[in-house]
Amino acid sequence: MPSPYQQPDDPDHDLGPWIEAPQSSRLTRYRFDYGTREIQVTWRNGKGHGTTVYGAADSEIYRRFARAASKGAMVNRVLNGLPYAPATPDQIDAPSNPNRSAVQSRP
């Protein structure tokens, strides 16, 4: 069965692009699913699992996370209070919506 994430017209999944986080010591990249309100975070150390999905996040939480000077501190303060689980391969490999622009981090 094909992944539901692979359907470009699936209204339940509206993924923003992966955003690289080279300045972070804890994570490598992240993105937001506007349809399911999930933040996907890929960890630098990969312990346990490489990517975590944080649910029940609205776009304002995501915007604050993307603009946080310390992504790790934001994970500890805010995201760890949300429901979370390891990402499935389908979630990790899902294509981004080309009409979504990236929320830029602070330099």
Q: What is the pLDDT of residue 73?
A: 94
How many angstroms separate the CA atoms of 27 and 34, rounded?
21
User: What confidence tens digit (pLDDT) does each residue in 12-23 have?
Assistant: 678 999 999 988
The CA-CA-CA angle for residues 81, 82, 86, to 5°, reads 115
How many angstroms separate the CA atoms of 71 and 105, rounded?
10
| Residue 5 in domain | no
* Number of domains forming the structure of the chain: 1
- 103, two tokens: 């929320």
User: What confidence tens digit (pLDDT) does each residue in 37-89 have?
Assistant: 999 999 988 655 699 999 999 999 999 999 999 999 999 999 999 999 999 99
Q: What is the value of pTM for the model shown?
A: 0.84
| Residue 37 in domain | yes
| Residue 101 in domain | no
What range defines the domain where residue 37 resides? 11-93
